[in-house]
Amino acid sequence: MDLELPTWVHDVPLPPAHATREQRMQYVLSLAAENVRRRGGPFASAIFNIETGACVGKGVNLVQAYACSILHAEMVAIIAAESALTSYSLSPHGDFELFASAEPCAMCLGAIPWSGVRRVVCAARDEDVRAIGFDEGVKPQPWTEALTSRGIEVVRDVLRSEAVSVLNAYAASGGIIYNG
């Protein structure tokens, strides 16, 4: 699929190969913050090989840029990773983890198991995203069990306060709440 990230995304330095969870999340949050500064949505995501630390896909929210409701950051990162590996599933290529600036909405939650990632690491919580007006859709509760029952580990609240700051900056800047 020919989906182009904004050129500035490639200028944001990747974390080192053996970065900590916090360093990887800081990278994702820097993408989200820059996307807000450039009038995009307040979300970002990246997919890393768990063993090597290589980033195989990154994404920022492109809903407004492409006028397409499915281009959430997680979906864009999955598209980028699968395109880079020329595969509709990441699992045959190793173990991968998806870092997201916020917990997945209903759509992204549904796509995660199909992507083949083995771990999901989130910063902001669902309630943080809803607090600024976004509708995250109907998700099973607890949503984490929907993933863990399929063998996908879930890690929450990594740099949560920093992620909430990005969300609040978006709301304060008058960012469009396009599905609220």
Active-site positions? 74
* Tokens at 45, concatenated: 């995501």
Please provide residue 102's backbone torsions phi and psi, each rounded to the nearest 5 degrees: -150, 160
Q: Tokens 């990887």 appear where?
A: 24
- Using an 8 Å Cβ cutoff, are 82 and 104 in contact? no
Q: Which helix (H) or strand (E) holds 101?
A: strand 96-102
> Residue 60 pairs with which residues in a beta bridge?
44
- Using an 8 Å Cβ cutoff, are 135 and 179 in contact? yes
What lies within 8 Å, CB to CB, of 19 at 6+ separation is 27, 53
What is the torsional sign of CA 71, 124, 167, 141? positive
Rounded distance between C-alpha atoms, residue 48 and residue 107, angstroms? 21
Instruction: Specify the DSSP class assigned to residue 42.
Output: S
* Tokens at 84, concatenated: 């880079």
